[in-house]
Structure 1
Amino acid sequence: MKIKLSILFICLTMSIFSQEKIDIAFIDVPLLDVLKEIEVNFGVKFSFNTEVVKEEKFSFTKKKCELVYLIGEIERQTPLFFNQINERYYYITKNSNFRSNEYDLLKEVFITNYITSGINKKRNGSISILPKELGVLPGLTEPDILESLKIISGVQSPNETASGIYIRGGTPNQNLVLWDGIKMYYSGHFFGMISAFNPYTTKEITLSKSGTGARYGNRVSGVIDIKTNENVPDRVIGGFGLNMTHADALITIPFSEKTAIFFSARRSFSDILKTFTFNKLSTRVFQTFDDNQENQIIDNNIKFIRNNKFKFSDYTIKFVYKPNEKESLSLSFLNTKNKMFNDFIIPFYEDKYNDRLDINNTGISINWKKTSEKTTHNIKSYFSKFILDYEGNYNYIDNYLFILSMKSNNLTDFGISYNMNYSFSDRTDLFWGYDFTSTKASYKLKYTIDTEEQNQYTSLQEDKGTNNTHSLFIEYLYDNSNWNINSGVRFNYFSKIDKPVLEPRLYFEKKLSKNFSIKGSFEQKHQTLSQIIEFQTSSLGFDLENQIWAQVNNDDIPIQKSMQISSGILFNKNNWKIDIEPYYKKVSGMTSQTSGYNDQTDDFSNGKGKIYGIDILINKKINNYRTWINYSYTKNRFKFLDLENKFFPANHDITNYFSWSHAYKLNNYELSLGWVQRTGNPYTAVKEFLIDDYGFPVIYLDLDNINALRLPTYSRLDASLIYSFNFSERWKGRLGFSLLNIFKRKNILSRTYSAIVVRNSDNNIEHKLKVVDKTSLGITPNFVFRVNF
């Protein structure tokens, strides 16, 4: 159950504890005897009521154990809370909210409360987020998994969505997203505005920006590894909640001391009730889609009928079996669904527009793990399936002109792996394993124009392919009080292109003093699966989901490759944390359509990218108040052979990104305030607008100066307030309120162009160039009510 934040605080302030290390070997020893022995061995004193500890027993074995880890293990196994008075004295109290075995001791954590409570920096350079411990964040009423990542320097969302996670210039499809070992290919609800993963079932999210371990492969950017709860409770626990977009419920049922089943479900209710929050999100999502359809109306006085419906849901099931403390078997299942219906009718013209979209992502995984004195064996397997189906029917002038637009994208992914960790000592480990994955991807795009039931034009584009990947990997881990090294190599063989590749990885930290460390990393990665941008359906206005997964073919879709190197410094003293890390990244194997730059031709143009920048975090804690500043400077440049053939800013290039956040806790209240200001997104100007010989409008972009212009500076202020209370000792409640974009600033996220039909002063119809700006969310409130038991 819930581990106390004091474990994290103790880890943070470990430098003030005794640094003596002794061999620990307690097997079912009365806790009173354990405490007395600790006092003697470490030279500390504990003050406590003997009635609190007399029934407790303790088991723990570790060579060269420090006091901080020993205290943490006692708090994990028993309902005790260690309060530090000074360097030597502690008083012990009982934790009434204690639930045993909720988390394994976070022995790999280097800096706890790295940004705010529940966000920790591990010794291998990755960031750990514990949703159950997470403090309130600006603009969030609930700990949304993907939104929570955005307060970490180097993580951005230029399109203002939860699923649009850009890590150090990498695009979302270049991130490896895992849920209980299942590869996920669609991670958002409501076109990415909400994360597809239930935070209340999640135990830990691990984010890797650089120096990624060799165990992760087949993506060229960051890693987002999501693990769900897996410990067997001693009673039924659960919760339910409601906000202004969806409702959810979850329950954990133990069948015995060794087995339990976890179940969760979420569903939107926008198809039944449209709240003010949903309407704000809907306006943000559908603004250009609706605008493009309404542009079909020449005269403003002509009425139209619109019916937009959208709903999403997800549910998870997990079964856990733990025959003993050293062995576990789990089975996890996840299903996410998104459905959209759009009907648009212009009675005067007898025009009818119908759009239907279904997106499903389903996955299942099996995980077996067994630990002995020196070795840990792990066998896991997963299956993931992604389906996207879209159909648009457009009837003009009572079926005189009929346009059909269809799109389907199917992907299945199966994998099985074995790995083993061998501990030579408390300082040295060797981790190695083998992965096999088989990925099948297919897509089909069809566009048909009929006039009076006579086929005038048909376009059909389709492709399918299967790639089998065999991977061997090995990691060497060394960790003592001064050095932390994680070095490794991954060997991949991709069957579809008959190509072997080698990927070296390295991360290290060197402690120069008690409060100051240096770090560095190097990594190479490859990726065989890409998302291409298709423009047929988006030309009809449907630009919401115009990305499709496609398999590498060594022709127009080459294998992607990235190389990243970074260095940095860490400072941690007197509740100050400073982390500065410059980096440089190169990416090759890109195409203009996988990056979305070539919307005037179907040709693929090969290219490469280079990204360099610096991430800075400054964090200060004063009693119950915490403030942190994130700053990222990024230069993200691409070059394509047929587009300028010189480096130009990427579509998501954000040169300067600055955020300043605050969090304050007073009794049962938590308040957070956050301000973000960043460089506006780049865009390309129009070079020429003309009418061709057939009377159709043509827009030529200035491809000699791609993304040479910038939108205005983006700025937003968000706030959140949470109140926690108890119905009883077991039943606990939570009320929350959040407000996005408090000053109602109109931020422009993107700028494109379209040709619209208008009446001129002579009452004649003509085409006119229109600037289409997609704007950010306006002022958007949200409420949440939650009960846990």
Structure 2
Amino acid sequence: MKINLSILFICLAMSIFSQEKVDISFIDAPLLDVLKETETYYGVKFSFNTEIINGKNFSFKKKKCELVYLIGEIERQTPLIFNQINERYYYITKNSNFKPNEYNLLKEVLVTNYITSGINKKRNGTISILPSQLGVLPGLTEPDVLESLKIIPGVQSPNETAAGIYIRGGTPNQNLVLWDGIKMYYSGHFFGMISAFNPYTTKEVTLSKSGTGARYGNRVSGVIDIKTTEKIPEKITGNFGLNMTHADALISIPFSEKTALSFSVRRSFSDVLKTFTFDKLSMRVFQTFDDNQENQIIDKNIKFDRNNKFKFSDYTTKFIYKPNENESLSLSFLHTKNQMFNDFTIPIYKDKYNDKLDIDNTGLSINWKKQSSEKKTHNIKSYFSKFHLDYVGNYNYIDDYLILLSTKSNSLTDFGISYNMNYSFNNRTDLFWGYDFTSTKAAYELKYLADVEGQNRYSSIQEDEGTNNTHSIFAEYLYDNDNWNINSGIRLNYFSKIDKLVFEPRLYFEKKLTSNLSFKASFEQKHQTLSQIIEFQTSSLGFDLENQIWAQVNNDNIPLQKSLQVSTGILFNKDNWKIDIEPYYKKVSGMTSQTSGYNDQTADFSNGKGKVYGIDVLINKKFNNYRTWVNYSYTKNRFKFLDLENKFFPANHDITNYFSWSHAYKLNNYEFSLGWIHRTGNPYTAVKEFYTDDNGAPHINLDSDNINALRLPNYSRFDASMTYSFNFSKRWKGKLGFSLLNIFNKKNILSRTYNAIPIRNSDNQIEYKLKEVNKISLGITPNFVFRVNF
């Protein structure tokens, strides 16, 4: 009887013990060690064949974790199934249908499926996008790395491009864009209509809108941190596909259990085959450029010939070496290329217009990481980035009687090396600190030549070159428990070009008020040494398309930019409802009229500042397989320059109200998405005076006393997408997709400028008239995609 009572007591104790909540912390630990420690923690026993766990690691961190939750997480990350015999004993088998998932974000994530599947909100306030898990989005059949960011509140694109990412009033050149630690200085293909980053090589995209970690520096707006996969596959894997603008392929090859190599390539085929999708994009890109050339023809019945050619490509390579579970070494390479050729001839006059543009961005990075103990993790990174732009415009009039030659060259080389260490005091408190060194050289040259009958009548050269070395030390203190999450930091930068030391405090914290409601706040200060000058002189191509050049800070006309941003907000998450409301205020100094695009109203550099205040709102609800979300942003973005009114006026990209409503539905292997965007039109400046001088030259004077006082009509667009996934075999999988942008073919106006058009009057003399030039958005634009994974 005593023996039976003892056995009953032991079983009861085991049952109670197995339901205990234990603080769990595994960081890339061998799965065998995880199972042994789990047996000890919870008083259970596992029976399994060691072959099914060989070479597999596991990472997970959670306070007061129950056994059932831990088992569920192991099953999510590994191809294992736990079969329960009784309250103590389990036998483990292999899940033959398991799909590898290399993302372990639960220890960082506050809200999963923040907007839709594959978009999560981390505990430090950043947004994580996982392209391989991303649900279908309105107007997209593929997870475009940059385009996907636009469904996040506070992220907009007033010029309707993928690369034109404006984060809370900041311009694209104020964003820090990293690809495997490489700083990118050109993020688009086809003049920004397509992002330059292959989504099928991308593991995760992290977006920081505010409260940026102190580890990031030298930009005054958002951070877009793109990381590629670091997984060593068990066998050769890859994918390939095409849509109506380009084709791509990716392959990953394991050489052993410790090494692997991946390679990807994308290339447009518009130089070989022009599809209806490319034609739509081409009309959107070249519309004002083509119109400006045609408008210079006085007699409209005269024939002309035009040939626009464009092509782009990008290549990536990554080598991964993992000597053990605590150490890794990777080498990443990226090259992007854009080329444009334009030929415009008027045979009767023997006029020839030729434009050629080449843009390259190349990068290389090395990343070594080692966990020397349970508390210490070391990381050494180095990168090299090179950007180069070359443009030549050669215009020959009346059989070489008049020759106009304009050239533009812009180059930037950037080298950096950094060391950082993370020290975990316990499972709640971490200290992250490090040192960065970067050396950035920027140079540009603008030339213009006018030749009449072989004689140089006019020429000009504008050029600059400078190198800035930046030394930075930074530290972040991270505290995370069930009720508080704090990420505070400081960054100290020394800029050699201007011999200046600056201090940057950073803070993000979140406090749980109830189990479903949290309060958050952030503060950050940032500086930026590089700027993009807006130039208007080299050619009509430069004005309409690539009219920005990188220039280095100096103590003369390009000052150091500085920003300060504060924000507060609340986050509600319950019963598949997610509501996120975040007001903010940001001010920026060190701006100039030429770096901000207002030098068409004054020929001089004019120093100024900006201020932005607004509120971002997200409301998200899921009903079984259907999800809908509303994204609303209210923004007041104002600039002030000493020589331009000397009062605050709307920025060129000021969008007061931005509203989008999106839907996503999944039915078996089908996914559907529909979205509507409605926003305030872009601001523009009216013409104050138009006249022709005594020499017959036209002059257009804008109303510099009321800059951007007028608004274009409101912008509205409906988009839709559909994808279908299927299997060729157990290993080979396929996907078909169809998308439709601007379903109702709405003629939205993106910008408005003015031009002087020559005409022949009744006396057969040439005079000029003022013409309003509107840049129209994409019309109805279909796209197809076909992909194969193996």
> Would the TM-score normalized by the shorter structure come out above 0.5?
yes
Aligned AA for 2:706?
N
Whole-angstrom distance in 1 between the partners of 2:210 and 2:319: 33
Whole-angstrom distance in 2 between the partners of 1:63 and 1:724: 35
Q: Report the alpha carbon displacement of residue 77 of structure 1 after superposing the two structures with TM.
A: 4.6
Whole-angstrom distance in 2 between the partners of 1:690 and 1:491: 53
Alpha-carbon spacing, 1:24–1:413, altered in 2? closer, same or farther (3 Å): closer
Residues 1:459 and 2:499 aligned together: no
1:250-399 alignment, distance < 5 Å: 250-371=250-371, 372-399=373-400
Residues 1:734 and 2:735 aligned together: yes
**Aligned twin of 2:477:** 476
Q: Report the alpha carbon displacement of residue 64 of structure 1 after superposing the two structures with TM.
A: 4.4
1:579-590 alignment, distance < 5 Å: 579-590=580-591
Alpha-carbon spacing, 1:591–1:725, altered in 2? closer, same or farther (3 Å): same
Q: Report the alpha carbon displacement of residue 554 of structure 1 after superposing the two structures with TM.
A: 1.8
1:371-770 alignment, distance < 5 Å: 371=371, 372-539=373-540, 542-770=543-771
Whole-angstrom distance in 1 between the partners of 2:213 and 2:389: 32
Whole-angstrom distance in 2 between the partners of 1:31 and 1:124: 27
Aligned AA for 1:381?
S
1:67-216 alignment, distance < 5 Å: 67=66, 70-71=70-71, 73-80=73-80, 95-98=95-98, 102-216=102-216
Contact persistence 1:673–1:718 (CA under 8 A): yes
Q: Report the alpha carbon displacement of residue 292 of structure 1 after superposing the two structures with TM.
A: 0.4
Contact persistence 1:31–1:56 (CA under 8 A): no
Whole-angstrom distance in 2 between the partners of 1:409 and 1:252: 35
Contact persistence 2:24–2:65 (CA under 8 A): no
Whole-angstrom distance in 2 between the partners of 1:730 and 1:413: 42
Whole-angstrom distance in 1 between the partners of 2:199 and 2:488: 32
Q: Report the alpha carbon displacement of residue 301 of structure 1 after superposing the two structures with TM.
A: 1.1
Contact persistence 1:714–1:747 (CA under 8 A): yes
Whole-angstrom distance in 1 between the partners of 2:422 and 2:638: 40
Whole-angstrom distance in 1 between the partners of 2:396 and 2:733: 55
SS at match of 1:114: coil
**Aligned twin of 1:66:** 65
Contact persistence 1:69–1:107 (CA under 8 A): no
Contact persistence 2:157–2:165 (CA under 8 A): yes
Report which stretch shifted further, 754-763 or 333-342: 754-763
Contact persistence 1:685–1:709 (CA under 8 A): yes
Task: Write out per-residue CA displacement over residues 674-733 of structure 1, whole angstroms, 9 at most, x where no aligned residue.
Answer: 000000000000000001122100000000000000000000000000000000010000
Whole-angstrom distance in 1 between the partners of 2:141 and 2:359: 26
Task: Write out per-residue CA displacement over residues 218-267 of structure 1, whole angstroms, 9 at most, x where no aligned residue.
Answer: 00000000000111011000010010000000100000000000100000
Report which stretch shifted further, 570-579 or 92-101: 92-101
Alpha-carbon spacing, 1:64–1:766, altered in 2? closer, same or farther (3 Å): closer
Aligned AA for 2:227?
K
Whole-angstrom distance in 2 between the partners of 1:92 and 1:669: 33
Q: Report the alpha carbon displacement of residue 602 of structure 1 after superposing the two structures with TM.
A: 3.2
**Aligned twin of 2:13:** none
Contact persistence 1:522–1:565 (CA under 8 A): yes
Whole-angstrom distance in 2 between the partners of 1:590 and 1:18: 60
Q: Report the alpha carbon displacement of residue 91 of structure 1 after superposing the two structures with TM.
A: 14
Whole-angstrom distance in 1 between the partners of 2:621 and 2:428: 31
**Aligned twin of 1:242:** 242
Contact persistence 1:538–1:546 (CA under 8 A): no
Contact persistence 2:62–2:107 (CA under 8 A): no
Alpha-carbon spacing, 1:423–1:72, altered in 2? closer, same or farther (3 Å): farther
Alpha-carbon spacing, 1:23–1:230, altered in 2? closer, same or farther (3 Å): closer
Alpha-carbon spacing, 1:446–1:215, altered in 2? closer, same or farther (3 Å): same
TM-score (norm 2): 0.93
**Aligned twin of 1:9:** none
Alpha-carbon spacing, 1:27–1:644, altered in 2? closer, same or farther (3 Å): closer
Whole-angstrom distance in 1 between the partners of 2:675 and 2:480: 36
Contact persistence 1:31–1:54 (CA under 8 A): no
Alpha-carbon spacing, 1:328–1:65, altered in 2? closer, same or farther (3 Å): farther
Q: Report the alpha carbon displacement of residue 366 of structure 1 after superposing the two structures with TM.
A: 0.3
Whole-angstrom distance in 1 between the partners of 2:141 and 2:693: 53
Whole-angstrom distance in 1 between the partners of 2:503 and 2:147: 33
Q: Report the alpha carbon displacement of residue 102 of structure 1 after superposing the two structures with TM.
A: 2.4
Contact persistence 2:22–2:41 (CA under 8 A): no
Contact persistence 1:73–1:105 (CA under 8 A): no
Whole-angstrom distance in 2 between the partners of 1:310 and 1:774: 20
Q: Report the alpha carbon displacement of residue 333 of structure 1 after superposing the two structures with TM.
A: 0.3
1:8-27 alignment, distance < 5 Å: 20-22=21-23
Whole-angstrom distance in 2 between the partners of 1:542 and 1:343: 18
Task: Write out per-residue CA displacement over residues 64-91 of structure 1, whole angstroms, 9 at most, x where no aligned residue.
Answer: 452486245413552147999xxxxx99
**Aligned twin of 1:6:** none
SS at match of 1:594: coil
Contact persistence 1:289–1:541 (CA under 8 A): no
Whole-angstrom distance in 1 between the partners of 2:391 and 2:57: 58
Alpha-carbon spacing, 1:186–1:245, altered in 2? closer, same or farther (3 Å): same
Contact persistence 1:32–1:54 (CA under 8 A): no
Q: CA RMSD in A?
A: 2.5
Contact persistence 1:288–1:541 (CA under 8 A): no
Aligned AA for 2:709?
A
Contact persistence 2:535–2:542 (CA under 8 A): no
Alpha-carbon spacing, 1:62–1:264, altered in 2? closer, same or farther (3 Å): closer
Q: Report the alpha carbon displacement of residue 62 of structure 1 after superposing the two structures with TM.
A: 6.4
SS at match of 1:279: helix
Alpha-carbon spacing, 1:680–1:83, altered in 2? closer, same or farther (3 Å): farther
**Aligned twin of 1:5:** none
SS at match of 1:287: helix
Report which stretch shifted further, 108-117 or 755-764: 755-764
Q: Report the alpha carbon displacement of residue 19 of structure 1 after superposing the two structures with TM.
A: 9.4
Whole-angstrom distance in 2 between the partners of 1:332 and 1:33: 36
Contact persistence 1:611–1:634 (CA under 8 A): yes
Whole-angstrom distance in 1 between the partners of 2:765 and 2:20: 86
Whole-angstrom distance in 1 between the partners of 2:455 and 2:31: 84
- Percent identity, please: 80
Whole-angstrom distance in 2 between the partners of 1:28 and 1:265: 35
Alpha-carbon spacing, 1:360–1:63, altered in 2? closer, same or farther (3 Å): closer
Contact persistence 1:219–1:525 (CA under 8 A): yes
Contact persistence 1:72–1:105 (CA under 8 A): no
Q: Which runs of 5+ in 2 are unaligned?
A: 1-17, 85-89
Contact persistence 1:292–1:541 (CA under 8 A): no
Whole-angstrom distance in 2 between the partners of 1:128 and 1:36: 33
**Aligned twin of 2:4:** none
TM-score (norm 1): 0.93
SS at match of 1:192: coil
Contact persistence 1:417–1:434 (CA under 8 A): yes
Report which stretch shifted further, 391-400 or 23-32: 23-32
Contact persistence 1:101–1:231 (CA under 8 A): no
Whole-angstrom distance in 1 between the partners of 2:50 and 2:30: 16
